[in-house]
Structure 1
């Protein structure tokens, strides 16, 4: 379990959430995680749609050995698949119930509709949400990113161009796949100015989280 800073604090301060596959073997996955940490990914989530629970657990543990103590590592899976992982962060699939890897772990859900977004943002058991780009306007209205009390939400984008559009629409956190050639830095650069100019209160408020 991550220990230096509270998990909810790290989530509140996170700008980037990066999904990565299991790779060809655990050692390769550990190398990918190590590289993402160097690029300053905030949340790193292991995800393989066809993976069995044991493979996700092995991948998570391999990635954990490569972590830098700053980022948070998690898995994307359903509640049954995360039972043995003890992951600090669990991203649940659309239409499934939110799950935690351990008692104080983070529960994040993928919202694939406006209704699912409203439900997730109103659920006190959910720590964060991943949404599609077309839901940004609604998310800004329901949970303004500049409000420290808002549930953190991340927009899933597939390029720096779509990330730029999401930021221009009001998003202040981005999710993307590690296979994207732009790398983490390309997305973080989109967020540097908005975080510097608008997110000071969020940064201060994050340390009220435990």
Structure 2
């Protein structure tokens, strides 16, 4: 499957740091992907670019075995050195058009969105391929109202709408609230990175997402359409 199809079918995005280095990260990634993670994004504030590159390369080697996706974050230069398939940009980061200068022609660009206007801008930008929407939790953020806004602006079952992932503070305990607000894809971090059993934690989240897709005829139809592309 092509990158766009794999992204369109993705349900669970995991954001992780470098942990204790490439070897430890590779073992963790193997557990996460085996549990059902579709897309793994590396973020580590203050890390050197060479360290991030080594970690991204370790992630790619693991992801290949699962047909999983790996995303760089923010740095166009790092994405270029990695020959990244996906690059996510912060809400106030470089333009998606500028990011394209660092990427191969089939790469996908994401945008972090923290409010309705950012969602509207990302959906209107032809260079943006996917979004993260949040923070959903805690309540001090835009919360579930922003998820509901995104679900109206870009219905998850619409094959022509850009995929988006609800993000921040999402766990197995509150996932049903996020699904009820209209999300069908979520991004998590500590729910898996801090779990005693990352594979089991990923599986629990993915299983609930899978059931949400299977219980929604429109999402079942989306899956068929994505495979036919």
Same fold (TM over 0.5): yes
Answering whether residue 179 of structure 2 is matched by residue 167 of structure 1, we say: yes
Name the counterpart of 1:189: 207
Runs of at least 5 residues in structure 1 that lack an aligned partner in the other structure: none
Secondary structure of the residue that 1:141 maps to in structure 2? helix
- Is 1:203 matched up with 2:200? no
- C-alpha distance in 2, partners of 1:25/1:75? 16
Match of 1:154 in 2: 165
Secondary structure at the counterpart of residue 130 of structure 1: strand
Q: CA deviation at 1:120?
A: 0.5
Q: Distance in 2 between matches of 1:76 and 1:83?
A: 12
> Unpaired runs of 5+ in structure 2?
137-142
Q: CA RMSD in A?
A: 1.7
Q: TM-score, normalised by structure 1?
A: 0.90
What is the CA-CA distance between 1:191 and the residue it aligns to? 1.4
Partner of 1:37: 33
The aligned residue for residue 27 of structure 1 is 23
Q: For 1:59 and 1:72, how far apart are their aligned partners in 2?
A: 14
Cα pair 2:148 2:182 within 8 Å, conserved: yes
Q: Which residue of 2 aligns with 1:75?
A: 72
Q: Quick one: which of 105, 108, 116 aligns to 2:107?
A: 105
TM-score relative to the length of structure 2: 0.83
Superposition deviation, residue 193 in structure 1: 2.3
Structure-2 residue corresponding to 1:141: 152
* Mapped partners of 2:128, 2:51: distance in 1: 25
